[in-house]
Amino acid sequence: MTANRHLQLDSEEMRAIGYRIIDLIVERHRTLPDQPATHKESPPELSRRLHEPLPECGCSMDAILQQVLDDVFSNCSRLDHPRFFGFVPSPSNFIGAMADALASGFNIFAGSWISGAGAAALELVTIDWMRQLCGMPESAGGIFVSGGSMANLTGLALARHAMLDDRTGGAVAYLSDQTHASVRRALRVLGFLPCQISELATDGRFRLRVEDLAAAAARDRSAGKRPFCVIANAGTTNTGAVDPLAELSRFCRDENLWLHVDGAYGAAAVLCERGRALLEGLESADSLSLDPHKWLFQPFESGCVLVRQGALLAGTFRVLPEYLADIHRGAEDVNFGDRGIQLTRGFRALKLWMTIKYFGLEAMRKAVVRGFELAEAAEAEIRKTHDFEIVTPAQMGVVTFRHSRAADQEFYRRLVDGMAAGGLAFLTSTVLRGETVLRLCTINPRTCEADLTQTLDRLRELAAGMIGSG
Ligand SMILES: Cc1ncc(COP(=O)(O)O)c(C=O)c1O
């Protein structure tokens, strides 16, 4: 084969490859419930299969796709599988996946108006839809980022800039012991030391206590420190707990503190009435992280940060090098490259926009409600058995439980590994106040009750076998 030095295919070749890939994706979706929820070979085995010399010559697409399917994708969890209940699943949807293919196929640059006016205009619309859903004022703005970690980093960079003028000395941020690790990492990246993070113990329902926060902030002020930010949870990863957002926002306003809300997985619940009731006060956040690649059914990577004062984004991130002078001409032009950390950025807004347009909000609302209902169904199923007992009841699509006769961490590790190895379903453990527990996150709207029953039956069998043999 002579080298294809233009890296170009003719229309027939493109169609053949494109249709083959679409067929593979459609077939994967059709057969998903019959495939293992997760599977992985060992690192040496995968290294053996995939390591090869840098290929000097190209090879056929059939061979490449076969290798991707057999060695790569078969060794990746199916986070949109109806029985994938571990961590925070990513139920995704086909329209979102096709939107990614479109954005990539048209190679849309979403960093500046001059190169991507249509993309910027559509991102503004989609961000405004998120703003409306979250009840934030018209002054609010936002940006799509890769996920919750980047959304938290972006929100906290804004807090540092707005509240501290970027001077971190003596500043203190407050968070609960249930806060996602990405928040600590973001604070570290932003130059805060561990001693500048005040971690507060939570109440019986794993929520931040405002009295404790008030006492800690008062103590720090009188010691000459500079409290500047509170990070609240709108759905913790561990149990789905929601901090008292309305009370926290009043406290932050009175004390002149920035309120960043991590709603990476839980904020999507504002779509439905029961979620809105649980999330009361969300609308008062100064910055808010939400992850469409979780409970808004988008493929990776789709994160979003909303900011009460939208103008702060450019105020914090904008720099004006001479080689970008041409992008800063029109006063009304919107350059998302000025509003976040990335200059070159893909067109992430398209997938959420297309999904909402195609299915409509009513369908998405029902899909979110389903997540609540499935966790409640799982809770009811667990309560019926004698083998397991509930630790935290269904909340925002999460339920945690323990085995009634086994408590050590090793037992749960073996149980989680045993479930994963069987492939039927995938769930994970976590630790609550020193106790290892099992956890189901049920936000996939295509999960049915039979999936829950099969999963719990299998779990019971495995646990009984382990206790019997142990
Ligand atoms: C509450 C919360 N915040 C932040 C994150 C981090 O999000 P990502 O993994 O998209 O970076 C997660 C991920 O599960 C989360 O549950």
Give the confidence band of 114 by pLDDT, cuts at 50, 70, 90.
Answer: very high
Q: Which of 33-47, 51-65, 404-418 has the lowest mean pLDDT?
A: 404-418
Q: Which pLDDT belongs to residue 287?
A: 98
* CB of 147 sitting under 6 A from ligand 1: yes
Tell the residue number behind the tokens 């890769």, with chain if given. Answer: 146
Q: Is the pTM of this model over 0.95?
A: yes
Average pLDDT over residues 406-412: 86
CB atoms within 10 A of CB 338: 23
At 370, which amino acid appears? R
Average pLDDT over residues 195-218: 98
User: Which atom, in ligand 1's list, is nearest to the CA of 147?
Assistant: 10
**Boundaries of every domain in the chain:** 109-346
How far away, in angstroms, is 438 Cα from ligand 1 center?
19
Q: Is the pLDDT of residue 60 over 90?
A: yes
Q: Which pLDDT belongs to residue 470?
A: 58
Average pLDDT over residues 329-356: 94
Q: Is the pLDDT of residue 1 over 70?
A: no
Residue 438: φ, ψ to 5°: -95, 155
Q: Is the dihedral of CA 122, 126, 127, 132 positive or negative?
A: positive
Atom 9 of ligand 1 has which residue's CA nearest to it?
148
How far away, in angstroms, is 163 Cα from ligand 1 center?
24
H-type alpha helices, 106-256: 113-134, 148-164, 181-189, 210-222, 245-255
Atom 16 of ligand 1 has which residue's CA nearest to it?
237
Residues found in the chain: 470
* CB of 444 sitting under 6 A from ligand 1: no
Q: Which pLDDT belongs to residue 468?
A: 78
How far away, in angstroms, is 185 Cα from ligand 1 center?
12
How far away, in angstroms, is 464 Cα from ligand 1 center?
33
At 116, which amino acid appears? G
Q: Which pLDDT belongs to residue 329?
A: 77
- Tens of pLDDT along 217-238? 999 999 999 999 999 999 999 9
How far away, in angstroms, is 398 Cα from ligand 1 center?
14
Q: Which pLDDT belongs to residue 385?
A: 87
Q: Count H helices, E strands: the chain? A: 14, 11
Residue bearing the bigger pLDDT, 328 or 232: 232
Atom 6 of ligand 1 has which residue's CA nearest to it?
148
Tell the residue number behind the tokens 């195609």, with chain if given. Answer: 358
pLDDT, averaged across the chain: 96
How far away, in angstroms, is 320 Cα from ligand 1 center?
31
* CB of 291 sitting under 6 A from ligand 1: yes
Residue 81: φ, ψ to 5°: -70, 140
Residue 304: φ, ψ to 5°: -150, 140
Q: Which pLDDT belongs to residue 326?
A: 85
| CATH annotation of 109-346 | 3.40.640.10
User: Which atom, in ligand 1's list, is nearest to the CA of 293?
Assistant: 10
458 burial level (CB within 10 Å; 0-12, 13-18, 19+): middle
How far away, in angstroms, is 129 Cα from ligand 1 center?
21
User: Which atom, in ligand 1's list, is nearest to the CA of 87?
Assistant: 14
| Measured CA angle at 248 (ends 137, 304), to 5 deg | 50
